[in-house]
Amino acid sequence: MKIGELAEQADVSTKTVRYYESIGLLAEPARTPSGYRDYDHDAVERLRFVRDAQATGLALAEIVSILELKDAGSTSCQHTTALLERHLAELDEQITRLQQARAELTGLADRAARLDPSSCTDPNRCQVIAR
Amino acid sequence: MKIGELAEQADVSTKTVRYYESIGLLAEPARTPSGYRDYDHDAVERLRFVRDAQATGLALAEIVSILELKDAGSTSCQHTTALLERHLAELDEQITRLQQARAELTGLADRAARLDPSSCTDPNRCQVIAR
DNA sequence: GACAAGTTTCCAGCCGGATGGAAAGTTCGT
DNA sequence: ACGAACTTTCCATCCGGCTGGAAACTTGTC
């Protein structure tokens, strides 16, 4: 499978595929006699794995370290487990902050909604969009 | 209050304070006779708000527009209300996504904790994360 | 009146995560 | 045999959000 087909199946660009190879996320694939990258189906799986891991907010560098462990054939999942737990804690923190920010924004929105609409006639007093 | 004190109280760097000013997040403060920036306590509040909003994943440019609404204070209009509501909707969406990611991660972590370490040998498949 | 610490402006560079484009080589369809 | 579509490498650029450093100035302390 050539790079274009791989990219399509994994729903990324060929640029991204080469970029991932360059940062060690994808092993260097076999090459055709003419030098084209030649992937097997594992590469699709791997790219999908990357996508999934990325969707949970893991940075590419973190995904690399998980995959390196995997590639090394480690017999322990401790690395992955520790990473997951750390990430989970970060996620909780982020959710908390989001909810705090949401509360503040809700306050702003409520105040805005209670205002007299007729006070909104002066174009100079609504600076939000204009500026 | 000089820039260093402000930075300390808001837990950002002086570099960041000047940067925020440069992108319109902070108004240009008063200056001492010698040209030092001279802030009041509102600036601390504002920086803290920025930090909170930023923690939600809002871009600084978006925070700028929210703060402009805040600055408009007692005045509002359709545009500003719509803007806020859009931000709120995005925020809710983001919270939902994070909670989903959290649930997924929790599942993974649980699975990892229950796994027999000796079963983690397949070089092409990390059993913790693989789907 | 010396010296450190703080501040000023300005310009450069870094990070992650790509994306763009040029110039050259390859493969496929007709 | 030709052209389009694809692939190669390499280098540049983008974006947001800072961060670093230089050179000059101000302030506070001994």
CATH topology of domain B1-75: Multidrug-efflux Transporter Regulator; Chain: A; Domain 2 (1.10.1660)
Q: Which of A77, A81, A70 is nearest to A26 (CA)?
A: A70
Q: How distant, in Å, are the alpha carbons of A123, B22, B98, B109 from that of B70?
A: 17, 19, 27, 41
CA A37 centroid distance within chain:
25
- For residue A71, name the pLDDT band (cuts at 50, 70, 90): low
Residue A116 binned pLDDT confidence (cut-offs 50, 70, 90)? low
Percent of chain B with pLDDT over 70: 69
Which of residues 88 through 107 in chain A touch B, CB cutoff 8 A?
A: 88, 91-92, 94-95, 97-102, 104-106
8 Å CB contact of B55 and A84: no
Class of domain A1-74: mainly alpha
Q: Where are the domains of chain A?
A: 1-74, 76-113
Contact B130, A42 (CB under 8 A): no
- The residue written with tokens 């599942």 in the block is B107
Alpha-carbon gap, residue A123 to B4, rounded angstroms: 38
What is the per-residue pLDDT across A87-99, written as a single tens digit (0 to 9) for each?
Answer: 778 778 777 877 8
Per the model's pLDDT, the better-predicted residue between B44 and A116 turns out to be B44
Question: Long-range pairs for B30-38 at CB < 8 Å and ≥24 separation?
Answer: B32/B2, B36/B2, B36/B3, B37/B2, B37/B3, B38/B1, B38/B2
Provide mean pLDDT across the span A20-36: 93
Nearest by Cα to B16 from B49, B41, B8, B71: B8
Which of A7-16, A102-111, B15-24 shows the lowest mean pLDDT across its residues?
A102-111
Q: What is the DSSP letter of B31?
A: E
Cβ A54 to strand C below 7 Å: yes
Strands B37-38 vs A37-38: parallel, antiparallel or unpaired: unpaired
Nucleotides of D strand lying within 7 Å of any protein CB atom: 6-9, 16-21, 25-27
Could you say which residues of chain B have pLDDT below 50? 74, 123-125, 130-131
Highest mean pLDDT out of A61-65, A123-127, B18-22: B18-22
Amino acid A127: pLDDT: 44
* B70 closest CB neighbour out of A78, A97, A108: A108
**pLDDT-derived band at A13, boundaries 50, 70, 90:** very high
List for chain A the helix, strand, coil content (%; round to 5): 70, 5, 30
ipTM of the complex: 0.63
- B32's CB contacts (< 8 A; 6+ apart) are B2, B38
Q: Which positions ≥6 away from B116 have C-beta within 8 Å?
A: none
Sign of the CA dihedral running A63, A69, A75, A78: negative
Buried b (16+ CB within 10 A) or exposed e, B54-67: bebbbeeebbbbbb
